């Protein structure tokens, strides 16, 4: 093998190593983090009473969002959110066990989601604010 062939082979080996590393690193980091990830707190005001709700949103490595809801004023935690989606700026989730859903829009700095809580034929305004990190 002459010197030129050896250099070409060495360059090719380095190039292939860089490509493989880039592909592996991309696979290891998974999907980009969603702006919806975190803990969100809001208050539902209906018929003269208020009810605090907290939504916990997380993201799996494959990018899929999962969430649960707490209702501290009712002493309830971990209510499974069956369906959740976030496509900037729209957040939607549904909770089959209590027949409710939420549709809202994230504001530009990702600190608040403003929308409508729907349950039992009612549609109520609800603003979720991001809780401390």
Q: What is the DSSP string of 1-42?
A: --HHHHHHHHHHHHHHHHHHHHHHHHHHH-SPPPTT-EEEEE
On whether both 48 and 112 belong to a single domain, the answer is yes
> What is the SS3 assignment for 132?
coil
On whether both 115 and 58 belong to a single domain, the answer is yes
On whether both 114 and 70 belong to a single domain, the answer is yes
Average pLDDT over residues 29-40: 84
What pLDDT, on the 0 to 100 scale, is given for residue 45?
Answer: 94
On whether both 69 and 124 belong to a single domain, the answer is yes
Band of pLDDT at residue 73, cut at 50, 70 and 90: very high
Q: How many domains is the chain built from?
A: 2
On whether both 26 and 85 belong to a single domain, the answer is no
pLDDT for residue 31 is more than 80: no
On whether both 73 and 123 belong to a single domain, the answer is yes
What is the domain extent for residue 11?
Answer: 1-30
Band of pLDDT at residue 101, cut at 50, 70 and 90: very high
pLDDT over 90 for what percent of the chain? Answer: 71
pLDDT for residue 12 is more than 60: no
In this structure, the number of other CB atoms found within 10 A of the CB of residue 84 comes to 20
CB-CB contact of 81 with 93 (8 Å): yes
CATH label of the domain that carries residue 57: 2.40.128
Q: Measuring CA to CA, how many Å separate 95 from each of 68, 80, 108, 117, 129?
A: 9, 7, 26, 11, 20
On whether both 48 and 96 belong to a single domain, the answer is yes
On whether both 58 and 115 belong to a single domain, the answer is yes
On whether both 9 and 58 belong to a single domain, the answer is no
For β-strands 49-59 and 65-71, DSSP reports them as antiparallel
Band of pLDDT at residue 1, cut at 50, 70 and 90: low
On whether both 50 and 10 belong to a single domain, the answer is no
Residue-wise pLDDT for 62-71, tens only, equals 999 999 999 9
Let me know how long the chain is: 133
């Amino acid at each position: 093998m002459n010197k030129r062939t050896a250099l070409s082979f060495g360059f090719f080996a380095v190039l292939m190593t860089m490509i493989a590393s880039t592909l592996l690193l991309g696979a290891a980091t998974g999907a980009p983090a969603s702006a919806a990830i975190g803990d969100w707190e809001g208050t539902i005001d209906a018929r003269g009473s208020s009810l605090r709700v907290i939504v916990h949103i997380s993201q799996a490595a494959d990018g899929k969002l999962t969430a649960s809801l707490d209702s501290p004023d009712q002493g309830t935690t971990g209510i499974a959110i069956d369906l959740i989606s976030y496509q900037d700026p729209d957040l939607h989730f549904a909770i089959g066990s209590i027949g409710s859903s939420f549709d809202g829009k994230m504001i530009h700095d990702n600190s608040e989601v403003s929308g409508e809580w729907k349950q039992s034929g009612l549609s109520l305004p609800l603003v979720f604010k991001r809780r401390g990190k």
